[in-house]
Amino acid sequence: MNKLTKKSLCFSLITFFSIFFISYDLEAQWRSNKFIANPEVCEKIYEGGQKYQSFLCQGSELERTNHPEADGLIIDSWCPESTKYGHYFVLIDSTEGYTNSQYTELLRRLLDKENIDFIAPYDKLTIMNVDGRNESAKVMPLFSECKPRSSYKGTMYPINEYISRKDAPLILEGNFIEFEEMLNKSTEPLSKLNDVRGSYSQLFELLKELGLRLDLDFQSDYQYRKIIIFSDMLQHSSNMSFLKDCRPTKNNKRLKHSNGDLIKGKCKTFSEYKATMNENKWGATIPNFGVNPPEIFIYYLNCRHDPDLDIGLLEVWEEFFAEIGIKMQWDSSQDCEGFDRVRS
């Protein structure tokens, strides 16, 4: 047997056993009715350094089983009764209105089919628009429902295509199509974000409510929780305001240089903001998410006030979340063309 033949034989054996073990793994999941996501999908995302998709991937390795009570035709919800897997809570801060480019980016990040595919079957997705017109305790979600199984083959979640004796593939597919239609219809108001202007931006208060309000179903009985925030992160309320320092204004108008360029702000440090409250008030302001706290991803709408990412606002929020035991992940707007110039 020559060297070439040996090499070919070796390659064939490696390929065979690789296919065998992969098939065996999937077959074992099918027999046990316990499924995890295909790890190759998220491994490529992690290697590629895609921040938002990497955040969505976290939790995909969780073992799941099918739940007939959530897979039927006439049911109240697609959320399993016996198990809470993950909950994605999206906060859209529209108090400053959105430009067309920001709205396009919002849709791409939030509703793009490829990104929705990262959300696992039976995970809950909640979307809330914060427009600064209602107090935080009164804001209600635009959408809140668990993602049903689809019966589709070839997704990153094999549980989608698992069909038990109690399942009807057409019902599973119909549930998933209905979920997509509900999601698109419920988020139609987002197309009018450019017309929105709010009086305040209660980010601290909303995070506090998220940890308190039982109707939002974001308690620690979920195996993992994620908060996704689309915002300029300019907290502004009677409790705490960053506007004066981070975005200089006078009589509610941005301060400008003589040539019309906007004056760049410089935020105080987190410690300085915290020191404006006494200990009791600070303790009553910060959220308490209990055991197993959520992960946070911020899509920072920075073009209007922090195009160079140097006013210190991100650092304030990183220290705020660190104080309550949460690591903040973030990404920023990449296209600031068309915005007024901001300089020192």
Question: Sheet of 328-332: strands edge to edge?
Answer: 143-146, 124-130, 86-93, 224-231, 295-300, 328-332
Residue 142 contacts residue 129 (beta carbons within 8 Å): yes
What integer pLDDT is reported at residue 132 of this predicted model?
57
Check pLDDT > 90 for residue 27: no
Considering the chain, what percentage of its residues have pLDDT values greater than 70?
87
Task: Name the pairing type of β-strands 328-332 and 295-300.
Answer: parallel
Question: When comparing pLDDT for 256 and 109, which is higher?
Answer: 256
Among residues 247, 242, 265, the alpha carbon closest in space to that of 320 is found at: 242
Q: Three-state SS for 106?
A: helix
Token pair for 177: 């199509």
Give the other-Cβ count within 10 Å of 148's Cβ.
26
Question: When comparing pLDDT for 38 and 107, which is higher?
Answer: 38
Check pLDDT > 80 for residue 28: no
What integer pLDDT is reported at residue 21 of this predicted model?
41
CB contact set of 211 (below 8 Å; sequence gap of 6+): 218, 287, 288, 289, 290
Q: Confidence band (pLDDT; 50, 70, 90) for 44?
A: very high
Number of helices and strands in the chain (H, E) = 11, 10
Average pLDDT taken over every residue of the chain? 86
Question: When comparing pLDDT for 66 and 14, which is higher?
Answer: 66
Q: What is the pLDDT of residues 286-330, one digit of tens each?
A: 999 998 999 999 999 999 899 999 999 999 999 999 999 998 999
Question: When comparing pLDDT for 17 and 240, which is higher?
Answer: 240
Q: What is the pLDDT of residues 110-151, one digit of tens each?
A: 788 889 999 999 999 999 988 755 566 678 999 999 999 999
Buried/exposed 270-299: b ≥16 CB within 10 Å, e otherwise:
beebbeeeeeeebeebbbebeeebbbbbbb
Alpha-carbon span 229 to 231, nearest angstrom? 6
Q: Rounded to two decimals, what is the model's pTM?
A: 0.87
Check pLDDT > 90 for residue 276: yes
Check pLDDT > 60 for residue 10: no
Q: What is the mean pLDDT of residues 75-91?
A: 94
Q: What is the mean pLDDT of residues 176-198?
A: 80
Backbone dihedral region of 219: left (phi > 0), alpha (psi from -120 to 50 degrees) or beta? beta
Q: Three-state SS for 343?
A: strand
Domain borders along the chain are 1-32, 67-343
What integer pLDDT is reported at residue 196 of this predicted model?
55
What integer pLDDT is reported at residue 266 of this predicted model?
97
